[in-house]
Amino acid sequence: QLRRPATAPAAPAASGDSDGDVEGGEGKDGENERQPVSAELAAASAAFAKRAAELEAELNAHKTDNERMRRDVDRMIGEVEDARREAQLPKTPSMAHFQALSGVIVDLERRLEVREMELTHARGDLRAAADAEMHAVRSQYEAALSAKDQEIRRFRAELDGLMAVLEQLHAADVADGVAAAPTAVPAR
């Protein structure tokens, strides 16, 4: 017959056995083996629960320490920022005057940059406006010049027509023998 080691849990009795026989052993021996295994299992379980409770308590303690340290770090950062601001404050009247003048200079430089940007924009706007006005004047001038050229062409056509009629009349007068007063015909 084989016996199981004391550390391994015993196999449960078969459901059909009423006299308590266990596979691999008689009834009393199987029960004796089960008791030490269950006691060991219970002891291990209790030790595990105790260790889990210890670790949980330790974790909570670390969380509390972490929160306290985080608050301390935030407080220290605030103190450093306060010290930095305090270090920048003037300590003597001459330093206060120097710092005031320095602030005025910084303000004047900033205002100068703003003014230069405004002037640059104004110069660009003026140049664009002048270009647009010059284009408009040039367009008006070209339109007026074109109209005058058309008018001159029309007058020239009328003058040519009148000169042609005058020449025809003059030629007809000469052909009819009518003595006409000498008229000067301008050359074209």
pLDDT at 178 over 90: no
Contact 159, 185 (CB under 8 A): no
Q: Which residue has the tokens 């006409």?
A: 180
Beta bridge pairs of residue 22: 25
Nearest alpha carbon to residue 7 among 32, 26, 29, 34: 34
The backbone region for 20, taken as left when phi is positive above 0, alpha when psi lies in -120 to 50, beta otherwise, is: left
Helix (H, G, I), strand (E, B) or coil at 65: helix
Say how far apart CA 150 and CA 1 lie, in whole Å.
137
**Model pLDDT for residues 91-126, shown as the tens digit of each residue:** 777 877 888 888 899 999 999 999 999 999 999 999
DSSP-derived letter for residue 155 is H
| pTM for this model (two decimals) | 0.32
Contact 12, 38 (CB under 8 A): no
**Model pLDDT for residues 8-35, shown as the tens digit of each residue:** 444 444 444 444 444 444 455 555 566 7
Say how far apart CA 134 and CA 139 lie, in whole Å.
8
Q: For the residues of 125-149, what is the DSSP string, one character each?
A: HHHHHHHHHHHHHHHHHHHHHHHHH
DSSP H or E segment with residue 119 = helix 93-176
pLDDT of residue 88: 75
